[in-house]
Amino acid sequence: MTSQPHASRSLPSSTITPNDTQTLLKRLWRTQVRQHSGLIVAVIVLTVLTASLTALYPLVIQRALDMFASRDSRILYQVPMLVVVITFAKALSQYAQTLATQGLVLLVIRGLQEQMFEHLITTDIAHVEREAPAKLAARFTTDVISIRDTMIRAVNSMGDVVTVVGLIVSMLYMDWELSLIAAILYPVAAVPIQRLGKRVRRASGGMQERVGETAAFLTESFAQARTVRVYRLEESERARAVLSFGHLYHAMLRITRGRAKVEPLLEALGGAAVAAVLGFAGWRAAMGGATLGDFSGFVAALLLASRPLRALGALNAALQEGLAGLARVFAVMDEPPAVTDSPHARPLPAGDGHLVFDNVGFVYSDGRVGLDHLSFDAQPGCTVALVGPSGGGKSTALSLVPRLHDVTSGRILLDGMDLRDVQLESLRGSMAYVSQDPLLFDLSVRENILIGRPGASEAEVAAAARAAAAERFILALPNGYDTVVGPGGQRLSGGQRQRVALARALLRNPRLLLLDEATSALDSENEALVQDALATLRKGRTTLVVAHRLSTVRSADMIVVMKDGHAVECGTHDTLIQQDGLYARLVRTQGLER
Ligand code: ADP
Ligand code: MG
């Protein structure tokens, strides 16, 4: 509840150098854009076509006015037909251009999302758990949206360039002197625009971060809704919300201020340019110069050019937002996983599940010591109970066995092989894990059990459920095995969820069983059922259980008492009671539940 919005690590700040820009764009092109070659060609052709048709408008106006002035009768059919043809053609090609562009951009961002998820689903658990889930989700939503908007603008700016070039050609064709004046005036606008772009860029990175922080705050606050009410935390939550929304407000305001200036500034500068051109043209007309058609066509071209020119002027600022998002997305993908198959990794050989912790040390990435010289030997088929005060490293020890983390010193052996020499897939395939408060997937009960061994038969699922003492309650559910359990499994009670998780573990028939014993989820009737199920489950396989209950500990073949990351005592219940050390004290003071 105390975590304030904090700046997250390793995300690139809002400064993107031209060099980065090139690297980012090249990478995007190589990994996501290049393969859609058909669409790319379509986008280019249609964009150029649309832009060229726009550039034809002033020529039509010029022609119409010249015919008008000379009372040419062809104006009756030629001009309207020309207008209809050009506008219809432009409308059609613009429609197709929009579809092609959006189609391409949407494919690209879907590819980015898939690639990012692919990385996150396989990478180290430490990478995923370091950030609030909502902040990671923001990489898929807000960042991707800014990338999409930027890409669309980038494509359209290609059209804007063609339009402007076309219009300049028309202007030169109609009146080169006036064109020269316009050409001198337009670049004057470039300097203040550049300066504004920089400011927008600085502001935009900050805004994306704030959006992620706000989302993280909201997820946490709603997830804790019960605690908030019972502990009367409404005031402090409100204060946190005000702070979070305030940060977001200021970040958005900063970026809006920058953006809001760009367009009006360009408009005003454009107006000044038009005024100058008009003044010069008027002066020249008074001296008896160009035709009415030339002049009108020229002004039309000048006005038509101002929109794409403005868009191009604002492009840099817009690009920066998307590039900042792209940099963040790539940063997520780029963190190399530490837990991977080594080049000489082999499948786990057949064995009975002989697990040895040999002087194991583990330090978390923030420097906290999880384990410190932990050694014990779990003989095949035996149950080893890890007990001890909280913070002693029990959960850490359990998480090292499926290599959720790798040891920082020492080694863990399974059937004689160092875990780091075993292929991850076969290592994890050889074990089952039941967590303290198991969350289920929002699927049917049957599908949740089948996760243990996809493809198992109906009879095998039923047998597993029976052995886990879960069959009775499952059959009593409205749809039996096909009942969908709700998000996290919330339509089942804690004890029911745990038995479904046990059935899943049983179905897997693992060599090694990892259990984090629940203490609170079960009432006494359920507990007896779960204990029976556990006894069945443990038979014939090595079991490592983080134990909180005396009954579990007594039935274990060996007890490892852990404190400060290492084993302080080791033996059976009886020998440890005789030793009269930490374990005996835990039992006496009810540190272990009866
Ligand atoms: P136990 O399960 O025995 O209560 P843990 O294995 O959870 O103990 O914790 C052992 C030590 O490692 C504690 O000091 C704890 O603060 C630290 N620790 C546990 N998880 C993390 C983590 N994800 N990041 C940093 N430190 C951690
Ligand atoms: Mg723990």
Query: How many domains is the chain partitioned into structurally?
Result: 3
Is residue 239 in some structural domain?
no
The predicted structure's pLDDT at residue 3: 38
Nearest to 545 by CA among 527, 558, 563: 558
The answer to whether 387 and 583 have CB atoms below 8 angstroms apart is yes
User: Would 229 be classed as within a structural domain?
Assistant: no
pLDDT of residue 486 exceeding 90, the answer is no
Helix %, strand %, coil % of the chain (to 5): 65, 10, 25
Please work out whether the CB of residue 366 comes within 6 Å of at least one atom of ligand 1. yes
When pLDDT is cut at 50, 70 and 90, the band that residue 489 belongs to is confident
Residue 576 has pLDDT above 50, yes or no: yes
Q: What is the pLDDT of residue 108?
A: 94
Kindly give the pairing relationship between strand 512-516 and strand 542-546.
parallel
Atom of ligand 1 minimally distant from the CA of 392? 3
The tens digit of pLDDT for each residue in 66-75 reads: 887 788 787 7
How large is the average pLDDT for residues 333-342? 87
> What is the pLDDT of the chain when averaged over all its residues?
84
- The CATH number that applies at residue 493 is 3.40.50.300
Q: What is the average pLDDT across 461-485? A: 91
393 lines ligand 1 (CB under 6 A): yes
How far apart, in whole angstroms, are the C-alpha atoms of residue 19 and residue 147?
Answer: 18
Counting beta carbons within 10 angstroms of the beta carbon of residue 195, is it exposed (0 to 12), middle (13 to 18) or buried (19 or more)? exposed
User: Are residues 29 and 62 part of one domain?
Assistant: yes
232 domain-assigned: no
pLDDT confidence of residue 405: 92
Residue 329 sits in the same domain as residue 477: no
Nearest CA, atom 15, ligand 1: 391
Instruction: Name 362's Cβ contacts closer than 8 Å, sequence gap at least 6.
Output: 369, 370, 371, 393, 396, 400, 405, 407, 408, 409, 565
Residues 303-331 have a mean pLDDT of: 80
Does residue 256 register a pLDDT over 90?
no
Q: Are residues 105 and 194 in the same domain?
A: yes
Please, is 502 exposed, middle or buried when counting C-beta atoms within 10 Å of its C-beta (0-12, 13-18, 19+)? buried
Note whether 581 and 548 are same-domain residues. yes
In a domain, 216, yes or no: no
Higher pLDDT, 337 or 286: 337
Between helix 494-508 and helix 524-538 the angle, nearest 10°, is 10
* Residue 43: CATH number of its domain: 1.20.1560.10
- pLDDT tens digits along 154-185: 888 888 888 888 888 888 887 777 778 777 76
pTM for this one?
Answer: 0.76
Within the chain, how many helices (H) and strands (E) appear?
21, 10
User: Can you give the pLDDT at residue 290?
Assistant: 64
What the block records as the tokens of 575 is 């020998």
Q: Which residue has the higher pLDDT, 285 or 79?
A: 79
Give me 41's structure tokens.
């060609």
Given a contact cutoff of 8 angstroms between Cβ atoms, the answer to whether 468 and 506 are in contact is yes
**Ligand 1 probe mutation, 130, 364, 407, 517, most atoms within 8 A of CB:** 364
Let me know if residue 532 belongs to a domain.
Answer: yes
The answer to whether residues 164 and 306 belong to one domain is yes
Amino acid at 432: A
Q: Which of 3-7, 191-195, 295-299, 323-327 has the lowest mean pLDDT?
A: 3-7
Q: Report the separation in Å between the CA atom of 7 and the middle of ligand 2, taken as the mean of its atom positions.
A: 28
In this predicted structure, what is the pLDDT of residue 197?
66
The pLDDT, as a whole number, for residue 560 is: 94
Q: For 523-574, what is each residue's pLDDT tens digit?
A: 666 677 777 777 878 888 899 999 888 888 888 899 999 999 989 988 888 8
Q: Are residues 536 and 412 in the same domain?
A: yes
Token pair belonging to 289:
């110069």
Closest CA to 154 of 46, 290, 312: 312
Nearest to 63 by CA among 55, 51, 74: 74
Examine the pLDDT at 11 and tell me if it is beyond 80: no
- Does residue 192 carry a pLDDT above 90? no
Residue 388 above 80 pLDDT? Answer: yes
Element (H, E) at 409: strand 409-414
Place of tokens 């339009």: 163
Predicted pLDDT at 2: 36
What is the rounded CA–CA span in Å between residue 217 and residue 128?
17
Residue 366 Cα: closest atom of ligand 1: 25
Q: Which of 172-186, 217-231, 450-464, 470-484 has the lowest mean pLDDT?
A: 172-186
What local confidence, expressed as pLDDT, does residue 188 receive?
65
Ligand 1 atom closest to Cα of residue 390: 4
Instruction: Say if residue 495 is in the same domain as residue 521.
Output: no
Together in a domain, 381 and 463? no
Q: Would residue 10 be called left, alpha or beta, if left means φ above 0 and alpha means ψ between -120 and 50 degrees?
A: left
- Residue 91: its pLDDT value, please? 92
What is the DSSP code string of 52-114?
HHHHHHHHHHHHHHHHHHTT-GGGGTHHHHHHHHHHHHHHHHHHHHHHHHHHHHHHHHHHHHH
Q: What is the pLDDT of residues 261-281, one digit of tens each?
A: 777 777 777 777 778 777 877
Does residue 313 sit in the same domain as residue 366? Answer: no
Give the domain-ending residue among 308, 333, 358.
333
Domain of 98, in residue numbers: 13-211+254-333
423 in a structural domain: yes
Do the domain assignments include residue 136?
yes
Predicted local confidence at residue 14, as pLDDT: 46
Q: How far is the CA of 565 from the centre of ligand 2 (A)?
A: 12
Residues 196 and 128 in one domain: yes
Q: What Rg value do the Cα atoms of the chain yield, rounded?
A: 35
Write the CB contacts of 79 (distance below 8 Å, at least 6 apart in sequence).
Answer: 60, 63, 64, 67
Percent of the chain residues past pLDDT 90, beyond the cut: 32
In terms of pLDDT, which residue wins out, 473 or 185?
A: 473
Could you say which of 477, 509, 541 is where a domain stops? 509
Same domain? For 591 and 549 the reply is yes
Calculate how far, in angstroms, residue 411's C-alpha sits from the geometric centre of ligand 2.
21
pLDDT reported for residue 174: 78
Same domain? For 410 and 447 the reply is no
Rounded Cα distance, 292 and 131, in Å: 66
Residue 310: what pLDDT?
74
Q: At a CB cut-off of 8 Å and minimum separation 6, what does 61 contact?
A: 293, 296, 297, 300
Going by pLDDT thresholds of 50, 70 and 90, the confidence category of residue 521 is low
How far, rounded to the nearest angstrom, does the alpha carbon of residue 356 sit from its chain's CA centroid?
Answer: 38
Calculated CA dihedral for residues 576, 577, 583, 587, nearest 10 degrees = 150
Of 450, 483, 509, which closes a domain? 509
- Does the pLDDT of residue 393 top 70, yes or no? yes
Is residue 340 one of the residues assigned to a domain? no
* Residue bearing tokens 């202007």: 171
